[in-house]
Amino acid sequence: MRQRINVLVTGASGFIGSSLLSCLSIREGIRVSGAFRHQFPNIPPGIQTFQVGDLGANTDWTQALSSVAVVIHTAARVHVMNDLAKDPLSEIRKVNVEGTLNLVRQAAAASIKRFIFISSIKVNGESTVPGEPFTADDQPGPIDPYGISKWESEIGLHQVAKDTGMEVVIIRPPLVYGPGVKANFRRVIHWLDRGVPLPLGSIQNKRSLVALDNLVDLIVICIEHPAAANQIFLAGDGEDLSTTELLQRIGKALGKPTRFIPIPVGLLTFLASLLGKKDVAQRLCGSLQVDISKARELLGWEPPVSVEEGLRKVAEDFMKNKI
């Protein structure tokens, strides 16, 4: 029987981190520990936990990194619409760049074999032309502070890997959905559940998403797969949908009829701009597709969960926990 590999998950109480922790806790051949910011939520039994405080340039990772072979870094300051900070990029850099590079340098000094970084498709950019998806090897084109901070982190990670020989794996997911999803995705589910008519009946864009189960599965494969070393992968479900199609699928998963008002995209975008919601309109009406063929070819990976199954899990969780 082979020796178990020790894995540390940062951001272990977050949306991705908590699901990853649960998955790894029952996986044969892996001993997983979790790093939390301040407090430990309900976690599977037998998992060692570390309270590391705020992620930044001075965070001490010594205890958490002891005896670890692989770090999976999910902790980050997330993208926030209409960030109220005077200098959003400067603030987000403190966590996403300085905090990440502090961790990876300590990981290299502790002889960590592999560092898996959960980045963002925003490193590639904000939109694509329909039928011309982003690929893992495209020239980066981040626009907003979150995407820029993730790109700068990636640059630093590559340099540490070059200097130390530590293996780095970068995964860039698009929008991640699954049980417990929050923000705009949950808000839309709430509207559909209430039968609110939505002015989104004429959108013919194409957008890639990734079910939480699919993203976790890709991350798990990258823990030990030899072909993952020093590579960048894009994550996705392998099926792209228009905004209208996505809402119809969510409605079907909820068992609720969908009610749409077919407002032309140009008019919808114009009205959103007048209301200061141009970014929201871009996400609803624009296309953003990802090509996951690199993960398929190098890792033999296929998304194990279909869009229907992923949305069904979201709908079941929503109906169970809605107030």
Which residues carry out catalysis? 146
CB 57 within 8 A of CB 98: yes
CB 285 within 8 A of CB 267: no
- Across 215-254, the runs of DSSP E, i.e. the strands, are 231-234
Residue type at 16? Answer: I
Q: Which two tokens stand for residue 186?
A: 């949950």
Q: Which two tokens stand for residue 176?
A: 């991640």
d(CA 139, CA 127): 14
- Residue 163 has phi, psi (to 5 degrees) of -75, -30
Q: Which two tokens stand for residue 189?
A: 């589910």
Would you state the torsion angle of the CA atoms of residues 94, 154, 124, 219, taken in this order, to the nearest 10 degrees? -110
At residue 163, the 3 state secondary structure works out as: helix
Q: What is each CA distance from 303 to 125, 136, 203, 239, in whole angstroms?
A: 23, 17, 26, 10
d(CA 92, CA 86): 11
- Candidates 179, 189, 209, 188; CA nearest to 255 is 189
User: Which stretches of 66-211 are DSSP H helices?
Assistant: 88-93, 100-109, 145-164, 183-194
- Across the chain, the runs of DSSP E, i.e. the strands, are 5-10, 30-36, 48-51, 70-73, 114-118, 167-172, 175-177, 209-211, 231-234
β-pairing, 167-172 vs 114-118, is parallel
d(CA 161, CA 281): 39
